[in-house]
Structure 1
């Protein structure tokens, strides 16, 4: 996600690939890729997963869709530099985009399906784009109160008690509701399993602070503070990063769901 700067912080692209490296492996292990697959990656970001999939689907292809033009530009540039030719990227909202019907043999998403304005419509649209029997495999966040990175960052930046957490990233946290959405959209064999991995924010505390500044929740919290308060909040944030720093970098606990379903 690309965030606007706050408190003098310049806008830039957040590095989800670094943050979610452990979840990338868990999602990858759940895929059964074939050389002829035609894959849709929903919320592809800078396209790491899309490129990895295309590298296996050598006789097929991979399409990554996202709403961020900056991330898609980076995805295309990296793909061109690495010589991956059976991959392409398109700016599209998967909720309403007119995908070719019954076209894809697999749909995947690494934390890219929680932000739909109408998830029922979105999953129905994704379902129409899949061939009968095609799987949908995604990882989504559990509730915010199960995310150490959320509670710790908010605690550091709050000036007068706990700040309200933007719930959009956790909109699919209830497994029963998610199962119901997928079933109503025409999916079967819905299975939801807990996956718990730490997420990464850089090699040291300063890098950790720098890593989370582009996040909306960090920007929103800093925007509510005055100049003096901002400086103290950033000092508290650095202390939190230091408390979570070990020999291999800054890590925070997190909890997600691995969701599989069949069209």
Structure 2
């Protein structure tokens, strides 16, 4: 059970069900997708050896462990029990005693006030039920002048992944992933909205900088397609689609992934925002 009340019950159920287990079971695959942003994210956070740092939506704990190697103490918070168990086991195996993992919802978790020197997040802040409330709570956990740095996606139509999804959608219905609605992956795709939310939450000096990276989706197109169709949201969207249509969609995805084959696997460009701010 989570250590504090949960505001975002829908996300809690997803990340403690199939989705969270899939991420935990495929830790290396998901890190291959997202690790390219680690260095710019942590450099932007300007971590010091005396810092206590919060990792928001820490998942399997890749960023938390990197923070622990730069700072005095790292605390990772996430909704997902399966992913946190993976994070704890990995941190112990890597000999990192200065890491703490907490199951909770950062929007409502009762952080000790003014505890952290910095807060970071790698794709972990887009799904808050109430972003202003969440960032207000996080701001309260930061010391005066505390630093915030996070990475989030730009709009979906700017991603190479959109072309793969378009191929799938010719055979099976998919939701509109370009919608920048609150609580979705594109919720901070608009920099103006990001600045508005963070300002209302008590941050200043807000900077939103474009950041492009290449994600490794698989060894070859078939491997990439199999991974995509095992991903929780894709399984959810296709749960009522006839098997023949799903197979055609899978074949279309495999063909679309073929355009991104390199000598180092299937690599797709992802366009992100690197956001930094300071607690007022």
Q: TM-score, normalised by structure 2?
A: 0.85
Give the distance between the partners of 1:56 and 1:163, measured in 2 at CA: 41
Q: CA deviation at 1:179?
A: 0.3
In the alignment, structure 1 segments of 5+ residues that lack a partner are: 6-10
Give the distance between the partners of 1:156 and 1:120, measured in 2 at CA: 36
Give the distance between the partners of 2:43 and 2:220, measured in 1 at CA: 29
RMSD: 1.8
Give the distance between the partners of 1:262 and 1:16, measured in 2 at CA: 29
Partner of 1:34: 48
Give the 3-state SS of the residue equivalent to 2:32 in structure 1: helix
Q: Relative to structure 1, is the Cα distance of residues 245 and 221 closer, same or farther in structure 2, using a 3 angstrom cutoff?
A: farther
Q: CA deviation at 1:227?
A: 1.3
Give the distance between the partners of 1:185 and 1:53, measured in 2 at CA: 24
The answer on whether the counterparts of 2:171 and 2:246 sit within 8 Å (CA) in structure 1 is no
Mean CA deviation greater in 250-259 or 15-24? 15-24
Q: Relative to structure 1, is the Cα distance of residues 217 and 204 closer, same or farther in structure 2, using a 3 angstrom cutoff?
A: same
The answer on whether the counterparts of 2:172 and 2:245 sit within 8 Å (CA) in structure 1 is no
The answer on whether the counterparts of 1:3 and 1:215 sit within 8 Å (CA) in structure 2 is no
Q: Is 1:47 matched up with 2:61?
A: yes
Could you list the runs of 4 or more consecutive aligned residues of structure 1 that deviate by over 4 angstroms after TM superposition? Answer: 159-162
Give the distance between the partners of 1:171 and 1:227, measured in 2 at CA: 32
Q: Relative to structure 1, is the Cα distance of residues 208 and 161 closer, same or farther in structure 2, using a 3 angstrom cutoff?
A: closer
Mean CA deviation greater in 82-91 or 202-211? 202-211
Q: CA deviation at 1:16?
A: 2.6
Q: Residues 110-129 of structure 1 correspond to what in structure 2 (within 5 A)?
A: 110-129=122-141
Give the distance between the partners of 1:220 and 1:77, measured in 2 at CA: 29
Partner of 1:188: 204
Partner of 1:170: 186
Q: CA deviation at 1:222?
A: 2.5
Number of residue pairs matched?
255
1:158 to 161, 165, 169: 169
Q: Residues 15-30 of structure 1 correspond to what in structure 2 (within 5 A)?
A: 15-30=29-44
Give the distance between the partners of 2:18 and 2:252, measured in 1 at CA: 22
Q: Is 1:70 matched up with 2:86?
A: no
Give the 3-state SS of the residue equivalent to 2:157 in structure 1: helix
